[in-house]
Amino acid sequence: MLQIKTGQTLLFTGDSITDCGRSYPLGAGSGLGNGYVKLIDCLLASSYPKTAIRILNTGINGNRVTDLRDRWQKDIQIYKPDWLSFMIGINDVWRQFDTPDDLTPVTPEQFETTYRELLQNLPKKTKPILATPFLIESKPTDPMRAMMDTYGSIVKKLAAKFNAHLVDTQAAFDTYLKYRPSETLAEDRVHPNQTGHLILAKAFLDSIGFDWKHNRS
């Protein structure tokens, strides 16, 4: 059963995977971007026409968990979402590989502490949906994939502790990668094409009880 009810607001936030060309200062309506957020909006509207859900997008390119912390209260206070979905951590890991000297790294310990702080500062009315960071790489021994899994395990632990819905994005990609190479989803193993965004959208909808055989009448 779909957990989100008619009249509720669902806010997505995170990094470039969520941003994906959204409108500024707020992604809404036709300005949700070209990624998984827009696909989720379309799938919900087409499958549940009686359920009017307001979907918003405040993802920002390049954000790490520390950036999310700095704008957390502003997003929450302004938009007052009933549901808040956030996917963060990819840049926290990636920046340690592509530009290791340019930024102070967000260690796993700092990532967990900051992430926990975000959850503790959520209003009681706001239900969290936590999406793991991912790397579109099938080999768990790959150094960046191994680190990403470490950060993903932190998200899983906090989802259980705070009774949040969990979207295991890495598991969703791994199912695909059993049969097809990563290049068919992303050239840089991070920014997915439309097939990759659809994988993310489906994983998210599964986590909130989307019924793929729902009677639309």
For 2, the token pair is 């779909």
Catalytic residue among 188, 206, 211, 214: 188
Sheet architecture: strand order including 27-28: 27-28, 54-57, 9-14, 83-87, 127-131, 165-167
Catalytic residue among 82, 142, 149, 191: 191
Q: Which domains does the chain have, with CATH numbers?
A: 9-207 (3.40.50.1110)
Per-residue confidence (pLDDT) for residue 27, from 0 to 100:
98
User: How far is 198 from 217, CA to CA, in rounded Å?
Assistant: 25
Interstrand relation of 54-57 and 165-167 (parallel, antiparallel or unpaired): unpaired
Backbone phi and psi for residue 126, each to the nearest 5 degrees, phi listed first: -95, 120
For 17-42, what is each residue's pLDDT tens digit?
A: 999 999 999 999 999 999 999 999 99
For 95-122, what is each residue's pLDDT tens digit?
A: 999 876 667 899 999 999 999 999 999 9
Cβ(208)–Cβ(4) below 8 Å:
yes
Per-residue confidence (pLDDT) for residue 96, from 0 to 100:
92
The residue with greater pLDDT, 91 or 216, is 91
Catalytic residue among 15, 16, 92, 207: 16
Cβ(63)–Cβ(15) below 8 Å:
yes
Which pLDDT band, with edges at 50, 70 and 90, does 216 fall under?
A: low
Q: What percentage of the chain has pLDDT greater than the value 90?
A: 91
How does the average pLDDT of the chain come out, rounded? 95
For the cut 80, the answer to whether the pLDDT of residue 197 exceeds it is yes
Q: Rounded mean pLDDT of 54-61?
A: 98
Per-residue confidence (pLDDT) for residue 143, from 0 to 100:
97
Residue 191 known to be catalytic: yes
Residue 188 known to be catalytic: yes
Residue appearing with tokens 């502003």? 74
